[in-house]
């Protein structure tokens, strides 16, 4: 082990309870920074420093590289807790942390290139395969493309870019290409309704060579132990299918944001009177029912997503890959859970009345953030609700990465 690597902090002895305690401890500071973070359109340096100090980017990094290597459910639980403080921070924790999990699927040489130099290195992504194109050459691939929504990209040393490999006009492979910062351009086009401090700018790459060991074939990440990194990763954690549960970590931002909306609403209503009659809002049954319904929806969303994560790891530990219907059920569930969270936030925002239109009132930001993150394709009920039903009803569904 090099002196530089030895000097880096290790989080291999941090267990689930301690990781959650650290995440919970950041919530007050994240709430205080949220407005300024939004104005800055990227994660603040103070927040980055806190997340590196606590190791919360590394909860799924293998222990052999100094990570926590927690059970799969941490993929949801840790960023959901962070998102109670700031949805954008929770989103970036989820997004950047899952890339440590994904890097464990790659060839050992790719892991060594990143983590031996800096186990704290952050990796962004561009996940839409049609936005990238490539061709096979000797020793690897040459890729080009323009990928939007590369969350947290300004803080990252690497990027995982989704590429469709073609032989002429025919698509022959889907690869996730690990590319160093020097090989892509960041395009500052992140001027958006919500989730502003994720800094999810676009990236552009032109004719970049990616060696074979840094181009993960996504047909090997559909569940099971066929991925290149399996030789040194016996933990079933890494055998959970990426395509089926890749959105569950991001859903943490929606659940945490909805939980924050519930907490802030309860705090405001406890002592609030109406401006015109002086009656206490908490004494209106309509208010009670709305708050109660919102709370039930947030709890239900959390339970659905956690149940998926627990079941997916149980399946992996049983030594099998989920069937297609099971994978599609996971994708159905996460989209439904996000619909619940969005409805909960809408309900709570309506209780703010005229106060809810002021920039100074935090719930207006939570409302915008919820609708912004809800636009993710993984949370689209129109896209995710039908395929499971089709298969359950005896139809056929085909996706090369599923």
- Specify the CATH number for the domain of residue 188: 2.40.110.10
Looking at 95, 115, 135, the residue that finishes a domain is 115
Q: Say yes or no to pLDDT of 326 above 70.
A: yes
Let me know: does 172 contact 14? Beta carbons within 8 Å: no
* Span of 158-162, 277-281, 331-335, 360-364 with lowest mean pLDDT: 277-281
What's the CA gap between 89 and 320, in Å, rounded? 34
Q: Which of 115, 131, 166 is the last residue of a domain?
A: 115
Indicate the pLDDT class of residue 90, thresholds 50, 70 and 90.
very high
Q: Is the pLDDT of residue 6 over 70?
A: no
Q: Are residues 202 and 279 in the same domain?
A: no
Contact 252, 76 (CB under 8 A): yes
pLDDT tens string 227-248: 999 888 679 999 999 999 999 9
The domain boundary residue, chosen from 83, 115, 147: 115
Residues 52 and 181 in one domain: no
Q: Match 């290195």 to its residue by tokens.
A: 121
Q: Which two tokens stand for residue 193?
A: 């309704």
Quick one: 213 and 250 in the same domain? no
The secondary element (H helix, E strand) that includes residue 136 is: strand 132-137
Q: Does the residue 200 lie in any domain?
A: yes
Range scoring the smallest mean pLDDT among 94-103, 250-259, 279-288, 324-333: 279-288
Is 235 within a domain?
no
Average pLDDT, the chain: 94
In terms of domains, do 95 and 128 share one?
A: no
Q: Are residues 342 and 382 in the same domain?
A: yes
Domain match, 131 and 202 both: yes
Q: Position of tokens 């025919």?
A: 170
Question: Do 14 and 111 reside in the same domain of the chain?
Answer: yes
SS3 category, 217: strand
Other C-beta atoms closer than 10 Å to the C-beta of 56 total 26
Q: Say which CATH number the domain at 281 has.
A: 1.20.140.10
Predicted confidence (pLDDT) per residue in 102-121, tens digit: 999 999 999 999 999 999 99
> Which pTM value belongs to this model?
0.95
331 & 309 share domain: yes
In whole angstroms, what separates CA 86 from the centre of its chain? 14
CB under 8 A, 24+ apart: contacts of 109-115: 109/213, 109/214, 110/178, 110/213, 110/214, 110/216, 111/65, 111/229, 113/214, 114/157, 114/158, 114/178, 115/61, 115/65
**Which pLDDT band holds residue 378 (cuts at 50, 70, 90)?**
very high
The answer to whether residues 261 and 358 belong to one domain is: yes
* Domain region containing 317: 242-392
Share of the chain above pLDDT 90, in %: 86
pLDDT at 396 exceeding the cut of 80: yes
| Total number of domains constituting the chain | 3
Please determine, for residue 303, whether its predicted confidence score (pLDDT) is greater than 80.
yes
Q: How many CA atoms lie within 13 A of 240 on its CB side?
A: 26
191 with 129, same domain: the answer is yes
Residue 237 covered by a domain: no
Say if residue 2's pLDDT is above 70.
no
Backbone region of residue 362 per phi and psi (left: phi > 0; alpha: psi in -120 to 50; beta: other values): alpha
CA atoms within 13 A on the CB side of 297: 24
pLDDT tens digits for range 13-62:
999 999 999 999 999 999 999 999 999 999 999 999 999 999 999 999 99
Pick from 28, 92, 90, 41: which is nearest to 264 by CA?
A: 28
pLDDT in tens, 206-220: 999 999 999 999 999
Q: What is the pLDDT of residues 157-203, one digit of tens each?
A: 999 999 999 999 999 999 999 999 999 999 999 999 999 999 999 99
pLDDT at 7: 63
Q: How far apart are the first and last CA of the chain?
A: 38
Q: Compute CA 172 distance to the chain's CA centroid, rounded to the nearest angstrom.
A: 28
pLDDT at 221 over 80: yes
Length of the chain: 402
On the question of pLDDT at 1 being above 50, the answer is no
Q: How many CB atoms lie within 10 A of CB 22?
A: 21
Is the predicted pLDDT of residue 3 greater than 50, yes or no? no
Q: 249 with 376, same domain?
A: yes
Helix H segments across 66-180? 74-83, 87-103, 108-115
What would the mean pLDDT of 360-380 be, rounded to a whole number?
Answer: 95
Q: Residue 389 is encoded by which pair of tokens?
A: 């039903």
């Amino acid at each position: 082990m090099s002196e530089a690597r030895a000097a880096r902090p290790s989080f291999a002895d941090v267990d689930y309870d301690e990781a959650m305690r650290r995440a919970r401890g950041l919530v007050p500071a994240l709430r205080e920074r949220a407005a300024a973070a939004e104005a800055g359109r990227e994660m603040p340096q103070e927040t980055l420093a806190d997340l590196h100090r606590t190791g919360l980017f590394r909860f799924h990094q293998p222990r052999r590289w100094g990570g926590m290597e927690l059970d799969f459910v941490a993929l949801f639980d840790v960023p959901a807790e962070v998102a109670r403080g700031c949805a954008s921070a929770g989103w970036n924790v989820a997004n950047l942390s899952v890339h440590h999990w994904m890097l464990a699927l790659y060839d050992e040489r790719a892991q060594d290139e990143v983590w031996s130099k800096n186990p704290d290195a952050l990796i962004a992504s561009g996940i839409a395969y049609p936005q990238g194109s490539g061709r096979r050459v000797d020793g690897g691939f040459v890729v080009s493309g323009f990928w939007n929504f590369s969350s947290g990209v300004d803080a990252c040393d690497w990027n995982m870019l989704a590429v469709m490999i073609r032989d002429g006009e025919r698509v022959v492979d889907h690869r996730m290409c690990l590319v160093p910062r020097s090989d892509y351009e960041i395009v500052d086009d992140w001027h958006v309704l919500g989730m502003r401090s994720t800094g999810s700018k676009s990236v552009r790459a032109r004719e970049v060579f990616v060696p074979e060991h840094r181009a993960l074939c996504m047909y090997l990440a559909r569940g099971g132990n066929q991925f290149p990194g399996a030789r040194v990763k016996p933990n079933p954690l890494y055998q959970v299918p990426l395509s089926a549960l890749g959105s569950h970590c991001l859903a943490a931002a929606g659940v945490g944001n909805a939980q924050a909306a519930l907490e802030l609403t309860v705090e405001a209503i406890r002592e609030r009177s109406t401006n015109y009659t002086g009656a206490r809002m908490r004494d209106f049954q309509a208010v009670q029912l709305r708050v109660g319904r919102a709370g039930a929806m947030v709890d239900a969303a959390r339970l659905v997503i956690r149940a998926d994560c627990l079941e997916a790891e149980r399946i992996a530990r049983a030594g099998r890959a989920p069937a297609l219907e099971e994978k599609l059920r996971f994708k159905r569930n996460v989209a439904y859970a996000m619909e619940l969270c969005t409805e909960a936030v809408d309900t709570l925002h309506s209780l703010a009345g005229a106060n809810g239109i002021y920039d100074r009132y935090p719930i207006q930001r939570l409302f915008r953030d919820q609708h912004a993150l809800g636009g993710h394709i993984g949370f689209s009920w129109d896209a995710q609700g039908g395929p499971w039903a089709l298969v359950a009803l005896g139809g056929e569904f085909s996706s090369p990465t599923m």
